[in-house]
């Protein structure tokens, strides 16, 4: 189910997957990024999904404005839903290796009581990680 789409930026719920998929094939404008994630938040208020897959391989990183908005608006709104949320961020291998050198393996992960983030450079690894949390929640 498509939640938001522009040229190079798409947010959807893949029919056979338990996560929200955010794919950046080009750098989204800030307004598109913000509106897309707000649309996804509105969807999960009713759907109760708590798994998120951010595919940033084509752009490697969000802009400073997008990161700030996520920290100040998106994550707090996600936490207000009252459930754990698992966010897999996928970047290119080159970006991943640079991040690994800069912050170390533990720096690629982030945890609080509501938002658990891990960073990957292979989509299947990110999907497996999300599925492991999905299975533990339903199993």
What 3-state class would DSSP assign to 129? helix
List of E strands, 13-114: 20-24, 51-55, 85-90, 109-111
Quick one: what percent of the chain has pLDDT higher than 70? 96
Q: What is the DSSP letter of 23?
A: E
Percent of the chain with pLDDT over 90: 58
Pick the most confident of 4-8, 83-87, 121-125.
Answer: 121-125
Strands (E) across 36-138 are located at 51-55, 85-90, 109-111, 115-120
Residue 98 in tokens: 């640079």
Look at residue 24 and give its three-state secondary structure: strand
pLDDT digits (tens, 9 = 90+) for 58-70: 998 888 899 899 9
With a cut of 90, say whether residue 87 has pLDDT above it.
yes
Give tens-digit pLDDT for 25-73: 998 889 999 999 999 999 998 888 899 999 999 998 888 899 899 989 9
Q: Domain 2-138 - what CATH class?
A: alpha beta
Domain locations in the chain?
A: 2-138
What is the band of 23 on the pLDDT scale with cuts at 50, 70, 90? very high
């Amino acid at each position: 189910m498509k939640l938001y789409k522009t040229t190079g930026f798409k947010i959807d719920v893949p029919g056979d997957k338990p996560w929200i998929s955010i794919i950046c094939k080009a750098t989204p404008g800030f307004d598109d990024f913000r509106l897309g994630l707000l649309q996804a938040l509105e969807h999960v208020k009713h759907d109760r999904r708590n798994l998120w897959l951010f595919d940033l391989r084509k752009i490697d990183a969000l802009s400073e404005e997008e990161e700030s908005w996520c920290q100040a608006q998106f994550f707090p709104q996600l936490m207000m839903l009252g459930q754990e949320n698992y966010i897999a961020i996928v970047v290119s291998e080159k970006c991943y290796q640079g991040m690994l050198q800069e912050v170390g393996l533990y720096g690629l992960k982030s945890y609080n009581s509501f938002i658990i983030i891990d960073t990957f450079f292979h989509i299947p690894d990110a999907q497996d990680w999300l599925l492991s949390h999905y299975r533990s929640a339903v199993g």
